[in-house]
Amino acid sequence: MKLRDYQQDLVDKINRSFDKRNCIQSSTGSGKTVVFSHLANNYKGNVLILVNRTELLEQTSRNITRPLGIISSKECEPNEVTIGMVESVNNRMKKGVFDLKNIDLIIVDEIQNLQFTKVFENYPNRLLGFTATPVIDKKEFYFKCDCCEEKKEKKSVCCGKETKEFSKKISLKNWYGSLITGIPIGSLIDKGFLTPVHDFVCDNENLDKLKTDSSGQFTSKSEDEAFNNHSSVENLVLNYKEHCKDKKTMVFNSNIKTNLSAFVEFQRLGLNVRSYDSKSKENRKEIVEWFRNTPDGILMSVGVFTTGLDIDDVECIIMNKATKSLSLYHQIVGRGGRITDKIYKPYFKFIDLGGNVQRFGSWSYDVDWVKIYNDTKEKKKIIRVLEDFKNCYECQAMISSYPCEYCGSIEKEKKAPVKGEAIAKEFKKLPAPKAIHILNYSLANNLDINDAKVLTANYIIDILFFAKTKKSTVYKDIELLNSKIDQLIRPIYFALNKSELKGNRKRTLIDFRNKVIKKINKFYE
């Protein structure tokens, strides 16, 4: 398989590294599996690839061209390239029927889960760990003496004083050495290799119930209070109907109780929905195939399908949960980012019901992964019961009471919880249509120039619709309207005329604009 230019750049960076161990950051949808499969196919020596999900094992095996062995529950001999689920490999090693002596390179996928370290703990050769998000949502806690800085496991007396508790973020750097970064999500969107995200955020008063624990994550109890209630399920249904109806949609729920409540309600309404979580008795593989082949399917889940699911025609992601994990946020939203020729997908919708966009920013924003990866600062812990803390509504700092000691805000008057009325609103405006998206889809589906122009006009109507632009505003200044439309369609007009699409190339830019105006007039009738 021929690598894209940015994939080849990443391979070159890896091959130029003199480190024995590297962490490789490769964004969701950038072809991470393609990159490490290419490395395995071209490595001079035996390679072991470790994965943690059956979907990833199957996906990876399809990309290997060298003699291949798969370690699973069935007996299988290692080969030049061996792929294994982490638990299967670990069990074989414990039984003494597999070892790493003949392995020259280990490639690990989705390393942020920290499941793999038990396999390669004393491995001396080349090690590459791949992830879209090189951050771990865990901390280590310990006690330390202020005088001699000696660390203790438990609180004790040292140098005549009591030791104080500290915390430090656990970093992948401890296992994988230096970080090599790939192309950012925004650049992949600009190049046409990822689909732009259209964010919608929901002003949900139930989020006030969220509390954090000592690790900095939301407590299970408070998440249950915020999402497992009648008003939150109503909000989920309303937002599905408003933004996602009849579109292939993934819903990520906060816990199993919420997942069941939402599933039952969607079923009651006659919607085409399936559900999966750790207690499900249904066959996971069968559910995935159902979703892959169902254009209006709704797949609800808890704690699964955040990685390794390569279904590219997902049009909507609903995040019916709150998280403090940047890694999990990126993985969930990224399920909608893949490009496809199966449907016309100029953007995908992300419906955020958990305040995550305000917490992290849009999925397409640049992230300083190097700074995050290298952040191992030590923090002194203030001994307080963290359930008693709340997040300031203004600056989001953790405080025990108002006025906020950081920004001075005073407590707002409490409002009654929202009861099924919180429709998610645009977080940012829909981006301008991309010529490459329209052209690629038209070529893949044998459309002509006229069809491509209709797609463009429909997209511009989407921009007006989601911005809730009034008819009076649109027609207030006709010259300005014509100018704005010309600005949007000019690059598409020239791209279509230079393409191999069939159709009338004699029509001018003004004719194209008039076609768009005609569609807008019909929309506002």
| Total Cβ atoms within 10 A of residue 310 | 14
Place of tokens 């439309």: 485
pLDDT for 18 beyond 60: yes
Which pLDDT value is given to residue 391?
56
- CA distance to 205, 339, 347, 441, 467, per residue, from 189 (Å): 33, 10, 10, 15, 21
pLDDT, tens only, 84-135: 988 888 888 888 888 899 999 999 998 887 778 888 888 999 999 999 999 8
d(CA 380, CA 142): 10
Q: What is the pLDDT of residues 85-94, one digit of tens each?
A: 888 888 888 8
pLDDT-based confidence at residue 420 (cuts at 50, 70, 90): very low
Q: How far apart are the first and last CA of the chain?
A: 50
pLDDT more than 90, % of the chain: 40
171-175, 179-183, 421-425: which range is least confident on average? 421-425
Whether the Cβ atoms of residue 458 and residue 477 lie closer than 8 Å to each other: no
Fold for the domain defined by 5-136+171-183:
Rossmann fold (3.40.50)
What's the pLDDT score for residue 279?
A: 84
Residue 250 sits at φ, ψ, to 5 deg, of: -110, 130
What confidence score (pLDDT) does residue 356 get? 92
Q: What is the model's pLDDT at position 387?
A: 41
**Dihedral Cα 77, 80, 84, 90, nearest 10 deg:** 70
**Residue 411 CA, distance from chain mean position:** 34
b/e per residue, 413-427, with b = 16+ CB within 10 A? eeeebbeeebebeeb
Q: How far apart are CA 290 and CA 294, in angstroms?
A: 6
What whole-number percentage of the chain has pLDDT above 70?
88
Going 513 to 515 to 518 to 519, the CA torsion angle's sign is negative
**Residue 216 region, left (φ>0) first, then alpha (ψ -120 to 50), else beta?**
left
Helix (H, G, I), strand (E, B) or coil at 169: strand
The arithmetic mean of pLDDT across residues 232-250, rounded, is: 94
Q: What local confidence, expressed as pLDDT, does residue 383 receive? A: 38
CA angle 247, 321, 309 (to 5 degrees): 50
Arithmetic mean of pLDDT over the chain = 85
Are residues 381 and 165 in contact, defined by beta-carbon separation less than 8 angstroms? yes
Q: Which residue has the higher pLDDT, 163 or 475?
A: 475
pLDDT tens digits for range 248-297 = 999 999 999 999 999 999 999 999 999 998 888 889 889 999 999 999 99
- Mean pLDDT lowest among 68-82, 154-168, 438-452, 481-495: 154-168
Q: Cα dihedral sign for 298, 303, 306, 309?
A: negative
Question: Region 191-198: what's the mean pLDDT?
Answer: 91
Determine the pLDDT at residue 213. 77
Write down the H helix ranges in 204-325: 220-227, 230-243, 256-268, 284-292
In 3D, which of 396, 403, 389, 391 has the Cα closest to residue 361? 396
pLDDT digits (tens, 9 = 90+) for 345-383: 999 999 999 999 988 989 999 899 998 888 766 555 443
Give me the helices (H) in 342-397, please. Answer: 356-360, 369-373
Two tokens at 166?
């500290």
Q: Which residue has the higher pLDDT, 42 or 443?
A: 42
Q: What pTM did the predictor assign?
A: 0.78
Give pLDDT, residue 37: 95
**Using an 8 Å Cβ cutoff, are 228 and 222 in contact?**
no
Residue with the larger pLDDT of the pair 62 and 476: 62
Per the CB < 8 A criterion, the answer to whether 250 and 336 are in contact is: yes
Tell me: pLDDT of 175 over 70: yes
Residues 133-155 have pLDDT tens digits of 998 877 766 677 777 777 766 77
Checking if the pLDDT of 405 tops 50, the result is yes
Task: Give the pLDDT confidence score for residue 246 in this predicted structure.
Answer: 94
At 388 the pLDDT is 45
pLDDT the model gives residue 157? 74
Q: Which residue has the higher pLDDT, 433 or 467?
A: 433
pLDDT confidence of residue 73: 57
Quote the strand ranges of 160-281, DSSP E. Answer: 161-162, 164-169, 178-181, 197-201, 249-253, 273-276
Domain 186-367+388-426 belongs in CATH node 3.40.50.300: yes
Candidate from 67-71, 144-148, 270-274, 399-403 with smallest mean pLDDT: 399-403
245-259, 377-391, 475-489, 494-508: least confidently modelled range: 377-391
What are residue 151's DSSP bridge partners? 144
* pLDDT computed for residue 378 by the predictor: 52
Beta bridge partners of 350: 199, 317
